[in-house]
């Protein structure tokens, strides 16, 4: 219920804003790294989609009014991975990409039927124990090879599979 | 009047949104480059501030609903530099930094009393003739050394001087 | 013959250095962009490989002693694309990735049997007419979709196909 | 003595190579970060310069033949900060900048009388206990404000002060 705190948006206000302006998001690709920093695994959240099928997704959420981007990243990582995931929020705010989700299909590879969202995307190494809460069933770790395969990425909603491949390219783990 | 087109925000709606959520901006640092791509000059917009003094600023503006970041960049560059500036919008959306403007002083180096704005910042080489319109008096080109000097940056409103120094650092032109 | 100028390396010295230390390279992915900066085409050099088959590659070459990275980029682009390609060398030296070519297979996705080369990789929009010289047969423009397809990338020697996919990911043009 | 292992360069060979080609380096700016990833302190190595004065410098060193960039980073960090500094090598090899050191003054802001060196520069959070060995007297932590001040940066040899300011700009900690 964090997102309806007074001073932020009610559900109606959010609906109204969504129809009028781009909504700022952050997205995180949770990874395990070895001592040399190389990515060894990528974490994907499993959930149940509206049609009852299993979905895979990245950590994602809105930036609130008067919230810093790095605080929003930490909040959504804690929400999705639990309180002891120990995420390492990047020292620089330079994202590896900016993903633009449009309510209209085909403007970009990203799509969100609810809104026009613009998302700052970061790689976030996590070192602790991940215990998803909220809507997620589980967090599953994939090798970079598995994560890059169409079997994994093609099912991800809204273009998250494209964002995942961009993340893997950025860390040098696509073949 | 571009920003009050139906489907976008009325002045009242913008005021309301500004009190409730972060507003997405783009900012561009216009530069002249030589044949090797090295920055030789930085362009700053001169204007008249609320108190009648001359102000220097960067190209800056909101991203509208259903507008791509690169289209917003081009629109604001054309608005501020005129139709024949020939800006070279970057091929990648990765910004050199993300600047967070808070209505409260001191949260970040950036400040905007009107709103919480989050700005994607890009270096944009321009090769054509710049003829500022709208509120700007003029566009003035500074050498990187001049642009980095406190005489220039300290007067820039809202932390634009910090953003300018970040831009100069990014292109290797601070000494 | 530029690379045997006195002060630089003779062929024997180059062979000796290649066995002893990493050799610094630059690589450029030539692209066509539209007015909004979006990549519309990617240029690949066609050549004839040692076994007589057609090969596709990116612009690539050594950085010489006392040569700046941006001068090396321009020199290799002019060498491979001709004198009127009008490449736009980036204003910032931050590469989109660093590709490490090892003489041993499997250390990284990149491989060069001659040497350990470390390559700074850049996206370079070109606006002029490209007329390959030297060993290249031709420069061919591919759409991002074609360029990303395994038919194109799988044949590229030394891992250039991986670098090309990283470039496409960086400019938001992989699907 | 790590750098004279058979298969690498003898002192004479290194001298010869330095006169003929650019030498690849890595540089790291050690930082302390808070839970949100924001840089709170920057670590500088204190040493004694050739003229007996105290010098401040960043972690810096060559990449060896057949050594990955991330392995070179870790090796130099362990050499300069000790075995329990627990550096977090970045997941992506994209450096925040590339610093070009020329034996001639004035080509770039960076200068190395011994050689033409090209350095990939990274921000590296360290979480453990730093115990400098080798030639360094000590590692001293500065606040970002102190680290950015001319008193600190102007004395740094070879342009390391410029690189430090670029690093601070990249993590949003210059004012």
pTM of the predicted structure, to 2 decimals = 0.93
The token pair at C2 is: 């530029």
For every one of its 175 residues, what pLDDT tens digit does chain B have, with 9 covering 90 and above?
344 444 456 777 777 777 789 999 999 999 999 999 999 999 999 988 778 888 899 999 999 999 999 999 999 999 999 999 999 999 999 999 999 999 999 999 999 999 999 999 999 999 999 988 766 779 999 999 999 999 898 889 899 999 999 999 999 998 7
Least confident of C133-142, D22-31, D136-145: C133-142
For chain C, list the contacting chains (3+ Cβ pairs, <8 Å).
A, B, D
pLDDT, residue A9, reads 64
Radius of gyration of chain C from its Cα atoms, rounded to whole angstroms: 16
**Which chain A residues contact residue B24 at CB under 8 A?**
21-22, 24, 118
pLDDT, residue A17, reads 78
Task: Find the mean pLDDT for residues D160-166.
Answer: 96
Give φ, ψ of D54 to 5 degrees.
-75, 135
Using CA atoms, how far apart are residues B65 and B77, in angstroms rounded to an integer? 18
Least confident of A92-106, B56-70, C1-15, D60-74: C1-15
Helix pair C11-18, D11-18: axis angle to 10 deg: 130
Flag whether B14 is in a domain.
no
Q: What is the mean pLDDT of chain D?
A: 90
- Give B85 to chain D, closest Cα distance, Å: 28
pLDDT, residue A14, reads 74
Non-local (6+) Cβ contacts of A14 within 8 A are A3
pLDDT bracket for residue D8 (50, 70, 90): low
DSSP state for residue D2 in the 8-state scheme: G
DSSP state for residue D37 in the 8-state scheme: -
Round to the nearest angstrom and report the end-to-end CA distance of chain C: 42
pLDDT, residue C174, reads 87
pLDDT, residue B92, reads 98
Over the stretch D79-125, which tens digit does the pLDDT of each residue have? 999 999 999 999 999 999 999 999 999 999 999 999 999 999 999 99
Closest CA to D95 of A23, C100, A9: C100
Flag whether C4 is in a domain.
no
The token pair at C158 is: 């030394």
For chain B, list the contacting chains (3+ Cβ pairs, <8 Å).
A, C, D
pLDDT bracket for residue C51 (50, 70, 90): confident
Residue-range definition of the domain harbouring residue A80? 21-170
Using CA atoms, how far apart are residues B134 and B78, in angstroms rounded to an integer? 11
The token pair at A14 is: 């959010």
Using CA atoms, how far apart are residues C11 and C9, in angstroms rounded to an integer? 6
Taking an 8 Å cut-off on Cβ atoms, the answer to whether A94 and B93 are in contact is no
Using CA atoms, how far apart are residues B20 and A10, in angstroms rounded to an integer? 10
Taking an 8 Å cut-off on Cβ atoms, the answer to whether C108 and A175 are in contact is no
pLDDT, residue C154, reads 84
Is B120 at the interface with chain C, CB within 8 A?
Answer: no
Q: What is the ipTM of this complex?
A: 0.91
Count of domains for chain B: 1
Flag whether C5 is in a domain.
no
Flag whether D101 is in a domain.
yes
Can you give the CATH number for the domain in which D65 is found? 3.90.79.10
Using CA atoms, how far apart are residues D73 and C113, in angstroms rounded to an integer? 24
- Name which of D98, D102, D107 is nearest C93 (Cβ-Cβ): D98
Taking an 8 Å cut-off on Cβ atoms, the answer to whether D21 and C65 are in contact is yes
**Which chain B residues contact residue A62 at CB under 8 A?**
21
pLDDT, residue C171, reads 98
DSSP state for residue D20 in the 8-state scheme: T
pLDDT, residue C155, reads 80
Give φ, ψ of D132 to 5 degrees.
-55, 145
pLDDT, residue A8, reads 54
Flag whether A3 is in a domain.
no
Flag whether C2 is in a domain.
no
pLDDT bracket for residue D19 (50, 70, 90): confident
Using CA atoms, how far apart are residues D53 and D50, in angstroms rounded to an integer? 7
pLDDT, residue A134, reads 64
Q: What is the mean pLDDT of chain C?
A: 90
pLDDT, residue D132, reads 85
Query: Residues in chain A with pLDDT < 50?
Result: 1-7
Flag whether D12 is in a domain.
no
Flag whether B56 is in a domain.
yes
- Give C136 to chain B, closest Cα distance, Å: 23
Give φ, ψ of D174 to 5 degrees.
-110, 145
pLDDT, residue A118, reads 98
């Amino acid at each position: 219920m964090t997102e309806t705190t007074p001073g932020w948006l009610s559900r109606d206000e959010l609906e109204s804003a969504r129809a009028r302006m781009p909504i700022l998001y952050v997205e995180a690709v949770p990874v395990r790294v070895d001592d040399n920093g190389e990515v060894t695994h990528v974490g994907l959240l499993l959930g149940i989609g509206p049609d009852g099928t299993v979905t895979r997704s990245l950590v994602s959420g809105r930036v609130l009014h008067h919230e810093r981007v790095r605080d929003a990243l930490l909040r959504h990582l804690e929400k999705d991975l639990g309180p002891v995931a120990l995420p390492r929020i990047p020292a620089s705010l330079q994202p590896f990409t900016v993903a633009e989700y449009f309510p209209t299909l085909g403007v970009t590879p990203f799509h969100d039927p609810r809104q026009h969202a613009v998302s700052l995307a970061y790689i976030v190494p996590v070192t602790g124990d991940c215990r998803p809460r909220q809507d997620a069933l589980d967090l599953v770790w994939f090798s970079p090879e598995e994560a890059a395969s169409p079997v994994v990425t093609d099912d991800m909603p809204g273009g998250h599979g494209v964002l995942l491949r961009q993340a893997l390219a950025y860390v040098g783990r696509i073949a």
